[in-house]
Copies of this chain bind each other. A is one copy, B any other.
Amino acid sequence: MQQRRDASAPLGVFDSGLGGLTVARALRHALPNESIIYLGDTARVPYGTRSAETVIRYARGCARLLVERGVKGLVIACNTVSAVAVELLRAELDLPVLGVVEPGARTAVRALSELVATERPARIGVLGTVGTVASGAYPRAVAQLSTRFECVAQAAPLLVPLVEEGWLDGQVPRLVIDRYLEPLIAAEVSVIVLGCTHYPLLAPLIAERAAALAGRGVPIVDSAAATADAVRDWIAEERILPTDRAQRGDLELLVTDRPESFRAVASRFLGDEVAAVNVVDLKPG
């Protein structure tokens, strides 16, 4: 049985790098009084091209550090980790663990249910890392929510390097995105889930290219807001909202490498509340 959590303790959020900042931003918006410790494992990014065993090992290292910092719950702001390690971390850790796959799948199913009013089947397209696609986590999550919808998942391994390098516009990302979108558009998907927390930084271009290739607008689903909603529901249920509602929660940023370049992106992304970014060492998982 889990212990009663300290309401004033921070939330722990982790990702392989800076992609999880999309989730951190949504959490800051949905839960402004919550304090957050964000950990980006920038010394080992990307996770999405690694084996499930290695991702699990790295995820354990990240989780352990945040647990030692006394967080009241863990938000896995990384689809690859959510896809292969969320059940395992839940079993191993004595605190709530929330991933991004299930909230993202639920948002897609809801969006599709609104779009496809009739009972005919329809397809959900997923862009994800090699690890996320190989895990089959999205088809499983969608199947648990609805039998009407089929999932078509496409691995998009070059998108994380593009985002990490800041190539968010122009001919190269456009061509790379086209190459990954083509099988989804050919499969006539009605909605596309960004199944990696890095991808929302490319969302405008992905939406533009999907519309151009499909000849019609294709709704793009980002799991960040859905995940923040899930975290808010859990906090309300557990009654562990911070007592001081007047105070803005703290934000602590930790990385395992290159704090300066992380800080630059985080500042652009989270606004002026980004102070120092500190480097931590992770024990081997």
Q: Is the CB of B171 within 8 A of A162?
A: no
In this assembly, does A70 line the interface, its C-beta being within 8 Å of a C-beta of chain B? no
Which of the 9-residue segments A23-31, A91-99, A172-180 touches chain B?
A172-180
List of B residues within 8 angstroms of A51 by Cβ: 257-258
Contact with B along A36-59 (1 / 0, CB 8 A): 000000111000011101100000
Q: Is the CB of B161 within 8 A of A172?
A: no
In this assembly, does A164 line the interface, its C-beta being within 8 Å of a C-beta of chain B? yes
In this assembly, does A139 line the interface, its C-beta being within 8 Å of a C-beta of chain B? no
List of B residues within 8 angstroms of A53 by Cβ: 257
> In the bound complex, what is the Cα–Cα distance between A54 and B54 (angstroms)?
18
Closest chain B residue to A284 by CB distance? B284
In this assembly, does A283 line the interface, its C-beta being within 8 Å of a C-beta of chain B? yes
* Shortest Cβ gap from A146 to chain B (Å): 33
Q: From B54, B157, B172, B283, give the contact of A179 (CB < 8 A).
A: B172
In this assembly, does A165 line the interface, its C-beta being within 8 Å of a C-beta of chain B? yes
Closest chain B residue to A162 by CB distance? B158
* Shortest Cβ gap from A175 to chain B (Å): 5
> In the bound complex, what is the Cα–Cα distance between A257 and B42 (angstroms)?
18
Closest chain B residue to A260 by CB distance? B51
Q: Beyond A50-B43, A257-B54, is A172–B164 a contact (Cβ under 8 Å)?
A: no
> In the bound complex, what is the Cα–Cα distance between A236 and B145 (angstroms)?
68
**Residues of chain A in range 173-195 having any CB-CB distance to chain B below 8 Å:** 175-176, 179
Q: Beyond A54-B43, A258-B50, A258-B51, is A167–B158 a contact (Cβ under 8 Å)?
A: yes
Q: Is the CB of A50 within 8 A of B257?
A: yes
> In the bound complex, what is the Cα–Cα distance between A277 and B215 (angstroms)?
46
Q: Is the CB of B171 within 8 A of A175?
A: yes
Find the residue from A51, A157, A256, A284 having the highest chain B CB count within 10 A: A51
* Shortest Cβ gap from A206 to chain B (Å): 16
List of B residues within 8 angstroms of A171 by Cβ: 175
**Residues of chain A in range 195-235 having any CB-CB distance to chain B below 8 Å:** none
Between A and B, 24 residue pairs with Cβ closer than 8 Å are A42-B50, A43-B50, A43-B54, A44-B44, A49-B164, A49-B258, A50-B257, A50-B258, A51-B257, A51-B258, A53-B257, A54-B257, A54-B258, A157-B161, A157-B165, A158-B158, A158-B161, A158-B165, A158-B172, A171-B175, A172-B172, A172-B176, A283-B284, A284-B284
